[in-house]
Structure 1
Amino acid sequence: MNYIIILIISAIAQYFLPWWVIAPISFLIGAWKSASALKAYAAAAGAIATLWLGYATFLNMSNDGIMVQKIGGLFSENLKFLKNMPITPTFLAIMTIIGSQVAGLSATAGYHFKALFK
């Protein structure tokens, strides 16, 4: 249930607010409904990974990959090891990992915050 709640609320909030709104949302849901720290982390990380990967794939397909190519080109100029890697999967993987870690750690912090007051 936490997965679905975080997914829906984050999707709506990110339409109007900046990307980091996933942290307070995950924190609050982790503090409110999570049964354990592992379940809090897994639900939040999975929800945001699904949301960001799905939305980024939709955006990438809707503009024929131009966005990812341009953003990847910005980073591959300074980071030489990225020149030999395919840009689209690398970009999507890095973006998904960052989002899922922020959300997962925030939900875990929320669970532990709740545990302080038990």
Structure 2
Amino acid sequence: MLFILILILSLIAGFITPWWVAAIIAFVMAFYAGKRPGQAFLSGFAAVFIVWVVLALVKSIPNNHVLASRVAVLFHLPGWSILLILTALIGGLVGGMSAMSGVLVRRALGR
């Protein structure tokens, strides 16, 4: 349930808000719906990872990955797909740590 909530809300927000809103969504959803820190981390990581892959592809496919390929060359990466994976990993870590923090803050508050 937590995974679905973070995935849907982050995907909707990803089109109209800055990147860091996914962290707030993961934190708030895990605060209210998370059960265990490990489960929350995995749910937040997977949901935001998928969302960032989808959002990056939605923005990159129409221009035939031109900008992504140039940024990959700038970072000495072999191709735009590696850049996509690294970007999604960073987003996944942000989402996972935010979700885990939400559960831990709720525990610290005694709820």
Task: Give TM-score scaled by structure 2 length.
Answer: 0.90
**Preserved contact between residue 48 and residue 91 of structure 2 (Cα < 8 Å):** yes
Q: After alignment, is 88-97 or 104-113 more displaced?
A: 88-97
* Amino acid of the structure 2 residue aligned with 1:110: G
Q: Is the 8 A contact 2:14 2:55 kept in 1?
A: no
SS at match of 2:64: coil
Count of aligned pairs: 110
Task: Give aligned-pair identity as a percent.
Answer: 29
What runs of 5+ residues in structure 1 fail to find an aligned partner?
77-81
Q: What are the residue-to-residue correspondences of 1:11-30 with 2, within 5 Å?
A: 11-30=11-30
Report the secondary structure of 1:16's partner residue.
coil
Which residue number in structure 1 is paired with residue 49 of structure 2? 49
Tell me which structure has the larger Cα radius of gyration.
Answer: 1
The correspondence for 2:99, drawn from 80, 98, 107, is 107
Which of structure 1's runs of 4+ aligned residues deviate more than 4 A?
none
Which residue is equivalent to 2:69?
69
After TM superposition, the score normalised by the length of structure 1 is: 0.85
> Cα RMSD between the aligned structures?
1.3
